[in-house]
Amino acid sequence: MNLIYLLDITGTLVFAISGALSASERRLDAFGVLVIAFVTAVGGGTLRDVLIGSTPTAWMKDLNYLYVVLSAVIITYFFKVHLVKLKRTFFLFDTLGIALFTILGVQKTLTFGLSPVIALIMGTVSAVFGGVIRDILCNEVPLIFRKEIYATACVTGAAIYLISFPILGKELATGLTVAIIITIRTIAVRRHWSLPYV
Amino acid sequence: MNLIYLLDITGTLVFAISGALSASERRLDAFGVLVIAFVTAVGGGTLRDVLIGSTPTAWMKDLNYLYVVLSAVIITYFFKVHLVKLKRTFFLFDTLGIALFTILGVQKTLTFGLSPVIALIMGTVSAVFGGVIRDILCNEVPLIFRKEIYATACVTGAAIYLISFPILGKELATGLTVAIIITIRTIAVRRHWSLPYV
Amino acid sequence: MNLIYLLDITGTLVFAISGALSASERRLDAFGVLVIAFVTAVGGGTLRDVLIGSTPTAWMKDLNYLYVVLSAVIITYFFKVHLVKLKRTFFLFDTLGIALFTILGVQKTLTFGLSPVIALIMGTVSAVFGGVIRDILCNEVPLIFRKEIYATACVTGAAIYLISFPILGKELATGLTVAIIITIRTIAVRRHWSLPYV
């Protein structure tokens, strides 16, 4: 089990917990919470896999994703009160999650022989569309379309990765990209940065 | 034409009629009703096919599904008043439909060499996601996430099928699964069973 | 670069501008506007490609679609006020767009060896589902399900193309289909035609 895989699983866990928390706030039942947690965690990667033609999707071939989501729902059920207090820790893991999902999405898209521009888009799709599908299922306008949180950090990170990867190699490029995404998002949240309206 | 196929077509007809009825209650026009009836009937199986990589989807290769949905919309147009009175008969057919869709979804997923756990999930997806997509298109939080109706029956049925199939063979396992799904749903509705909140 | 391709790109541009305009009315930020413009322009074709199994989708293999959408968002940003005044011109281009998308969808589906009935459906999906996905993302009941605008024109146009293509050849059949779709839509809008309720 390599580092990337471990981080992928960590990202999945954090996204699933955040999905389960937001579903339980909306008074969905246990089945609804499970579906929303699952969709938040694997929805972005699934959409990417369907669009690039990599089916069956990743979570069908490796059941660990599923077990991680189930664990996340159980953790949320027992530690809901405590989890809500851990906002700061969560923010860090969540940002780590989007950074990793972006990089994994870029890598996988390049593996399919698609252009770097498409890899950049698919990296962003992997990181943000889980949340978009969650919001659609919960009948809300996706948060990410109204207020910048993730998108710019993902697009910038994906671009940094694509440029630095041939120069620095996989490990260093990953580290650099993660650092930049975390920096952008932390500053963005602290300074209330947001994208202009068109 | 074997029994499974006949039941599949029956399930499609019942789901399409239920979709057409709920669309016409929402004051959609004829095109909207047709699309909603179609999506309710074949949406779950289509999502399953896209995720496991079985494209073109089933209804593209066998036009009978399409003709059944068209018939369902015409039947609904002419017999709307009578259909609403047939609630009890409908409930039985609808439950038969989800039972069959669950089993067909499990079987097809196993055919693609995926694990029984994924087959269980895809069986449930086949049975319930037609209704989920219908609710999203009608701009509502999917009913199934708020109040348990189908999901537990499908998951239990899929598990029963997976366990009994190697022992009893296809026919007997199908019969047993259908009986158990109908029993669970009937009791659930009578006793107002619902899943706990997380 | 042939005529069909030029018209496809024109259709994409017009659909993207109309998506960007409707997104900016909804007070989405720059990222939201970009995504909605993209989805409106390529969403119908993408759904068609996923369903018939033609992945990676068209816009992944030809970056011009992406650049056209980016241009559309920039044009919308600078000329928003003027574009709103050009309603009449837009209506013509938009109708040309749906005519072309219908024909391209029919052609591509036939290329995959699917039946003419499925080609007719997929032609309509190509033309109208971009708008459906846009409305879902914006949390509205898709306009097309409530009030006939496009659908009948697309279905009729697709049928005309399928019948005339073997007799008249590609070019003449395309011309005839475009003319008929524009005629139906223009008359429909002028005379406030709409589909009956079921």
What percentage of chain B carries pLDDT values higher than 90? 47
Per-residue pLDDT at A155 exceeds 70: yes
User: Cα distance from B150 to chain C (closest Cα, Å)?
Assistant: 24
B95 with B78: CB under 8 angstroms? no
Q: Is B176 exposed, middle or buried (0-12, 13-18, 19+ CB in 10 A)?
A: middle
A11 with A100: CB under 8 angstroms? yes
Query: Cα(A50)–Cα(C47) distance, rounded to whole angstroms?
Result: 10
What percentage of chain C carries pLDDT values higher than 70? 94
pLDDT band, very low/low/confident/very high, at A65 (cuts 50, 70, 90): very high
Nearest to C9 by CA among C82, C62, C80, C84: C62
Neighbours of C175 (CB within 10 A): 12
Q: Is C66 on the interface with A (CB under 8 A)?
A: yes
Range of the domain at B89: 3-190
Lowest mean pLDDT among A22-26, C40-44, C178-182, C183-187: A22-26
User: Cα distance from B77 to chain C (closest Cα, Å)?
Assistant: 5
B127 with B44: CB under 8 angstroms? yes
Per-residue pLDDT at A121 exceeds 90: yes
**Residue C198 covered by a domain:** no
Query: Cα(B139)–Cα(A151) distance, rounded to whole angstroms?
Result: 25
Q: Which residues of chain B does C139 touch, with a Cβ-Cβ cutoff of 8 Å? A: 139
Q: Which residues of chain C does A140 touch, with a Cβ-Cβ cutoff of 8 Å? A: 139
ipTM at complex level: 0.88
C37 with C17: CB under 8 angstroms? yes
- Span A28-48, average pLDDT: 91
pTM: 0.91
Do C146 and B56 make contact, defined as CB atoms within 8 angstroms?
no
Q: Which residues of chain B does A138 touch, with a Cβ-Cβ cutoff of 8 Å? A: 141
Residue with token string 């036009």 = B63
**Residue C133 covered by a domain:** yes
Taking only residues 86 to 105 of chain A, the set having a beta carbon closer than 8 angstroms to any beta carbon of chain C reads none
Lowest mean pLDDT among B76-85, B114-123, C71-80: B76-85
Q: Is B66 on the interface with C (CB under 8 A)?
A: yes
A86 with A72: CB under 8 angstroms? no
Q: Is A77 on the interface with B (CB under 8 A)?
A: yes
How many Cα atoms within 13 Å fall on the side-chain side of residue B120? 17
Most confident of A143-147, B166-170, C120-124: C120-124
What's the pLDDT at B196?
A: 66
Lowest mean pLDDT among B5-9, B63-67, B176-180: B5-9
Do B145 and A31 make contact, defined as CB atoms within 8 angstroms?
yes
Do A148 and C31 make contact, defined as CB atoms within 8 angstroms?
yes
Smallest CA–CA distance from B137 into chain C, residue = C141
The pLDDT tens digits for C127-185 are 999 988 988 888 888 877 766 667 888 999 999 999 999 999 888 999 999 999 989 88
**Residue A198 covered by a domain:** no
Q: How many contacts (CB atoms, under 8 Å) link A and B?
A: 79
What's the pLDDT at B11?
A: 86
pLDDT band, very low/low/confident/very high, at B125 (cuts 50, 70, 90): very high
Do A144 and C31 make contact, defined as CB atoms within 8 angstroms?
yes
HEC string of chain B equals CCHHHHHHHHHHHHHHHHHHHHHHHCCCEHHHHHHHHHHHHHHHHHHHHHHHCCCCCHHHHCCHHHHHHHHHHHHHHHHHHHHHHCHHHHHHHHHHHHHHHHHHHHHHHHHCCCCHHHHHHHHHHHHHHHHHHHHHHCCCCCHHHHCCCCHHHHHHHHHHHHHHHHHHCHHHHHHHHHHHHHHHHHHHHHCCCCCCEC
Kindly report the average pLDDT of chain C as a whole number: 87
Neighbours of A179 (CB within 10 A): 13
- Span B172-182, average pLDDT: 91
Which candidate from C29, C50, C80 shows the least CB-CB separation from A146? C29
pLDDT band, very low/low/confident/very high, at A54 (cuts 50, 70, 90): very high
**Residue C197 covered by a domain:** no
Q: Is A119 on the interface with C (CB under 8 A)?
A: no
Do C50 and B50 make contact, defined as CB atoms within 8 angstroms?
yes
Per-residue pLDDT at A198 exceeds 60: no
Nearest to A34 by CA among A73, A60, A67: A73
Phi, psi (degrees; rounded to nearest 5) at C29: -80, 180
User: Cα distance from B78 to chain A (closest Cα, Å)?
Assistant: 33
Q: Is A39 exposed, middle or buried (0-12, 13-18, 19+ CB in 10 A)?
A: buried
What's the pLDDT at C198?
A: 57
Residue with token string 């998108």 = A151
Per-residue pLDDT at B97 exceeds 90: no
One-letter amino acid at C154 equals C
What's the pLDDT at A36?
A: 92
Total tally of structural domains belonging to chain B? 1
Local structure of residue A112 (DSSP, 8 states): T
Which candidate from A23, A60, A136 shows the least CB-CB separation from B118? A60
Task: Retrieve residue A139's tokens.
Answer: 């009948």
**Residue A195 covered by a domain:** no
The pLDDT tens digits for A86-115 are 777 777 878 888 898 999 999 999 999 999
For residue A36, give Cα distances in angstroms to A102, B130, C16: 21, 17, 30
Q: Is C74 on the interface with A (CB under 8 A)?
A: no
What's the pLDDT at C147?
A: 67
User: Cα distance from B75 to chain A (closest Cα, Å)?
Assistant: 30
One-letter amino acid at C177 equals T
Query: Cα(C88)–Cα(B155) distance, rounded to whole angstroms?
Result: 54
Per-residue pLDDT at B63 exceeds 70: yes
Do B139 and A139 make contact, defined as CB atoms within 8 angstroms?
yes
